[in-house]
Amino acid sequence: MSLVPYDDRDGWIWLDGQFVPWREAKVHVLTHALHYASAVFEGERMYGGEIFKLDEHTRRLFNSAEILDFQIPWTVEQINEASLAVCARNGLTDCYVRPIAWRGSETIGVSAQASKIHVAIAAWEWPSYFKPEEKAKGIRLTWARYSRPAPNTAPTASKAAGLYMICTISKHAAEREGYADAMMLDWRGYVAEATGANVFFVRDGVLHTPEPDCFLDGITRRSVIELARSKGFEVVQRHITPDELPTFSECFIVGTAAEVTPVSEIGEHRFTPGNISLSLMDDYARMVRRELAPA
């Protein structure tokens, strides 16, 4: 199957307050964000004409920008409206939505206080991140080479573009070895997250998930915790060591792209997608489509 480049598509992108034809939404090669990773973004999904947790995503975008020491020149409400408008303009009701804010090309160098802040929002059709048959039997993960950094060494509370560099490297290495993704540890050696999704484990009917003190506390993660608790499951947030993995029966990852995806393997450890993983996968899919009352 041929890949359609993201810069060569029909449609419209919201760029700095205006709708721009898709192929004309461009930045200069000396844009600060390209050289110094001064960009923050969100990944969102629209289901049936509604963007799931839109306001939470937009507010996190603004918070990420503040952490990177710049202000988005729009209000939360304006970005919410623009996000919905770009979906409508492209005739989409079920899609992926990508807002991004970045420093422009007025200055090039470490100091960039004079750079203009730009915002763009694009939306496109995007099916399940993993194939349905893969999700049902569980995906295979290996261990990532790199670790999530300590919060005093990087702006780990932000969804910053630069923090994903080690994720790309790790996911590429995993795919070359035949795995779907890689599991990352944090700088202390605790289990952290996959390259683009948070992780949960199951032991004796109780859900365990890493404490997000050095990586992003995902919006999907929080939604799944609420959903699980509403169904009567106990959820424990704590530090998890790799040597605990043999004591867990089930494992699944969660994220805007991954939604809820069971895991069958992390390196040398094996899991069996069971009732809890599969039921939460189905219930989450129903919840985001308003077929199940939100938690």
Domain coordinates of the chain in residue numbers?
12-124, 132-288
Just give the CATH number of 12-124. 3.30.470.10
The beta strands (E) that lie in 196-287 are given as 198-203, 206-210, 235-238, 250-255, 259-266, 269-270
Question: Percent of the chain, pLDDT > 70?
Answer: 96
Q: How many Cβ atoms from other residues are within 10 Å of residue 30's Cβ?
A: 12
Measured over the CA atoms of residue 286, residue 288, residue 294 and residue 295, the dihedral's sign is positive
CA distances from 290 to 49, 51, 246, 262 (A): 11, 11, 36, 22
Does position 147 have pLDDT exceeding 80, yes or no? Answer: yes
Residue 164 phi, psi dihedral angles, 5° rounding: -95, 0
Rounded mean pLDDT of 76-93? 98
pTM of the model: 0.94
Element (H, E) at 47: strand 44-47
Q: How confident is the model at residue 4 (pLDDT cuts 50, 70, 90)?
A: confident
Just give the CATH number of 132-288. 3.20.10.10
- Asked if residue 65 lies in contact with residue 41, where contact means CB atoms within 8 angstroms, the answer is no
pLDDT in tens, 96-138: 999 999 999 999 999 999 999 999 999 999 877 666 677 889 9
Q: How confident is the model at residue 189 (pLDDT cuts 50, 70, 90)?
A: very high
Does position 1 have pLDDT exceeding 50, yes or no? Answer: no
Q: How many Cβ atoms from other residues are within 10 Å of residue 12's Cβ?
A: 21
- Asked if residue 264 lies in contact with residue 271, where contact means CB atoms within 8 angstroms, the answer is yes
For the chain, how big is the Rg over CA atoms in Å?
19
Residue 288 phi, psi dihedral angles, 5° rounding: -70, -20
Give residue 127's pLDDT: 76
Q: Cβ contacts of residue 87 below 8 Å, gap of 6+?
A: 46, 49, 51, 93, 95, 97, 123
Q: Coil, strand, or helix at residue 235?
A: strand
Q: Coil, strand, or helix at residue 275?
A: helix
Residues belonging to the chain:
295
Higher per-residue pLDDT: 215 or 131? 215
How are beta strands 139-143 and 117-124 bridged, if at all? unpaired
Residues marked as catalytic: 159
Class of residue 274 by CB neighbours under 10 A (exposed 0-12, middle 13-18, buried 19+): middle
Average pLDDT, the chain: 95
Rounded mean pLDDT of 273-279? 95
